[in-house]
Structure 1
Amino acid sequence: MAFNSRLSHLLAAVALAVMAVFAWDAGRQGLWANMVLGVLAGLGLLVFLAVTYSMRRNPDEPAVVGPEDAGNLHILLDQMPIPLVRHAAGEGPRALNRAARGLFGTDDLIVTGAEVLVPAVTGAVAGSSPVLSLFGRSYAVGVSEILSDDGAVRLATLTDVEMEMNKAEAAALRDTLHILSHEIMNSLTPVASLADIATSYLAQEKGENVEAAGEALEMLSRRAGSLTRFIEAYRSVARLPEPVLQPVDAGRLVEEIVAPFRATSGVVFEVTVAEGLPRVLLDESQISQAVINVLTNAVEATEGCEDRRVVVSVGAGAQAVVIRISDTGPGVPDALRANLFTAFATSKPKGTGTGLNLARQIALAHGGNLQLVEGGMTTFAFTLPVRG
């Protein structure tokens, strides 16, 4: 059985371009193993293209690639860590390499996720990179259109950009908070100072109106002081430094964080750590603070409950380690769910709304996320990507 080489060559050329971009990006991020993999796969594709073109008898006629050459192309495509998808009019999308088959859970025809994938592939302009949400992650779709014996065919690459988008979101929020807190503090500080000065002047005077003015100034001073403390607490998010990443055993880290809670909180802690988890590149001090914030909320949520229990698990996700923290409290109020991770959102009388927000910003800065998991116990899940 023979293959028309035109499609094979175009597939190889697209794959070569993808591998070049992948190797460059891996090198930029210091992921040397991925960069070497990209370079080797790219060299293999170059060899394939050179050999098949040299076998053409007549430049004006399409060459025929035998099953062995086609098999070699499929082997090379399987080395690509980026999912590659084929879509033609009148038929469903198909997975062209191992990464695509793993992502969509299929050997060929894509069913699960096709309702999101097909509109993105067919609607994308060649050369653009629209972003779609697929299986809880964000993918940039790169599309090329070719002509084959069967008509127009679209080839699409799906590049996972969840980490980059999360980092960008975290950086943008930190910049915004820094500017806002700076401007608010600049305006608030003289207000509090002038209120104190005016109060001291009025202390030397007497009369009903003077007394009322003094009380108003004291109230103004107290409110200004309260707001100053609030802004200072929230500045911790804006001042969050870039994480210093080192390989960390997430299971060991969680066990160490839980130990003092178990000894002092009066809450029963159940901790499970899956075996064989990969080490994760983390800033240990930052992630520790993020986990502590969520654990503190979990412990406080169980106050007044007969069954005071917090369940913590560390397991594997899709190219990630997932830390889940569940509690037996009454749950998150419906009115708070939509703004749960928003600045200043809190249901506590003396809360500042910084705990969960800071925890999520730390997770985002690591290319991961912190989310509320629906159903069952109140559960928050940290997703921390495994890189390299």
Structure 2
Amino acid sequence: MGFSGWIRLGGAQAGVFVFGALCWAAAGAGHVATALVCAVAGLILINILLLNQRRRQSPVQRAPDATFASEQSRRRLGALVDETPSPLLLQEEDGRLIAVNRAARQMFDVSSELPVATRWALLGPGDRLDSLRGQIDWAGGRYAIHKARLDHALLAILIDITPEVRAAEASALRDLLKVLNHELMNALTPVASMSRSALELIDDNTPESLATARGALRTVVARTEGLVGFVDSYRILTRLPPPDTRPIALGPFADEVARSFRAQWDRHGVSFELRTDIAGAIAVMDAEQIRLCLTNLLNNAAEAAFDSAQPRVRLALTLAGHQVEVAIEDSGRGIETAMAETIFLPFYTTKANGTGVGLSLARQILQGHGSSLVLRPPGELGGAHFCFALPRPANAANPWEAN
């Protein structure tokens, strides 16, 4: 209320007092009509006073109503976000990763903030939400990642695409059966034909026919050996035993893998680098299976690195809370985005003499360890970049040091 308003209000209050006094005096003197007029005038001024009072109080009275409506809207929006079926994650500038809604809290089994070990398992050594690309595997599910930049924070929406992935796996199984049928028929048809020809030539019993029969039989042997190798590869995939996990010292294990790789590839001019930040660290794993997994991945990396002028392969092991992050990089041409899933299909290969088993076997081994093989964007070497994590002992007193 302005200064003039206060003047009017003060005048009205004085008028009420004056008319009240006049009404009392007139009534005491017996002037009833005058007393009634003064009473009516006083009532009018009282109404004016009350109206002004309500006007002064109305903003204060409306404020709680507006606040209540705003609070209702906020709660309604919060409930909608909380009931969103897709997990929502929010990372603030300080690095904290928050499970925004119920789906995210259930997915990561937290009440709000993700612990450091879970955060590292999800985000890797970069520890930033914007490092996630494309898809992730978590708790047996596959999730597509969509991100949105907010003020001083990054929001990620994880969309469950597990049903689509399973449908793709069923399609891959059908493709696998087609491959098996194709490979078996390609091997067996000429074997049967040449075997019949060899029998006929042997029956002729001439030097020329016997020489031709021996050539046919050599071809039969070569085709049969190739078929045996193919079947052995298939048997490895289908008969991989459950991992026999136990605590393994990672330092000596990594050194042994490095020596084996160098013995095979140094003479071919492939430069190998072992990077470790695992002094005294222990991982829980099946050493033989993980050695086989790494051998396949490193051999693939070495073969891919031949596409570069200076073939290079790197194996890096880094402590990541209660896990060990393992990364394999090469200096090759890398892997096209369109092939990111195809390369893991059994028997799929782009190599002339490849079996198409290496990556599929490595992924199967890691799934048995509760991990997953992930194709990351190219790293420092510029080629393919594969990562996976291995668990450390649960009773480790310090997540950065092994017992």
Structure that is richer in helix per residue: 2
